[in-house]
């Protein structure tokens, strides 16, 4: 770590991505790397809110597809059982006519 005698020298020598910081209570300065700040609201949105939205969409799609599949099964079952019921009614009517 290089120590500079004043802030101007430090600012002239520091590379991009570094900043000049005073060494304690002295008049000397060093170039220190600029560290990223704590996660802000944008990162909060990326790491928490966006995944929640994605999960919600997946759950809703799953529910929709399950209901659609169940509705299709019910309509097929009704189509299959309807003629059977009609036949039973016809047989019952024929039995009544015979008696």
> What tens digit of pLDDT does each residue of 2-47 get?
888 888 888 888 888 788 888 888 888 888 887 776 666 677 777 8
**Overall number of domains in the chain:** 2
Residue-wise pLDDT for 52-90, tens only, equals 999 999 999 999 998 888 877 776 666 666 666 777 777
- CA 7, distance to chain mean position in Å, is 47
Containing domain of residue 51, as a range? 38-83
Same domain, 21 and 43: no
Residue 90 lies inside a defined structural domain of this protein: no
Cα separation, 13 vs 28, whole angstroms: 14
Q: What is the pTM of this model?
A: 0.38
Same domain, 12 and 48: no
Residue 98 lies inside a defined structural domain of this protein: no
Cα–Cα nearest to 2, from 16, 17, 20, 25:
20
pLDDT score recorded for residue 77 = 64
Same domain, 58 and 28: no
Higher pLDDT, residue 94 or 9: 9
């Amino acid at each position: 770590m290089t120590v500079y005698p004043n802030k101007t020298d430090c600012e002239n020598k520091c590379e991009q991505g570094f900043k000049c910081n005073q060494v304690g209570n002295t008049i000397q300065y060093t170039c220190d790397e600029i560290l990223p700040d704590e996660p802000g609201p944008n990162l909060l949105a990326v790491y928490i809110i966006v995944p929640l939205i994605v999960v919600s969409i997946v759950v809703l799609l799953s529910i929709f597809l399950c209901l659609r599949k169940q509705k299709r099964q019910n309509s097929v079952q009704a189509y299959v059982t309807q003629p059977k019921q009609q036949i039973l009614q016809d047989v019952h009517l024929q039995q009544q006519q015979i008696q």
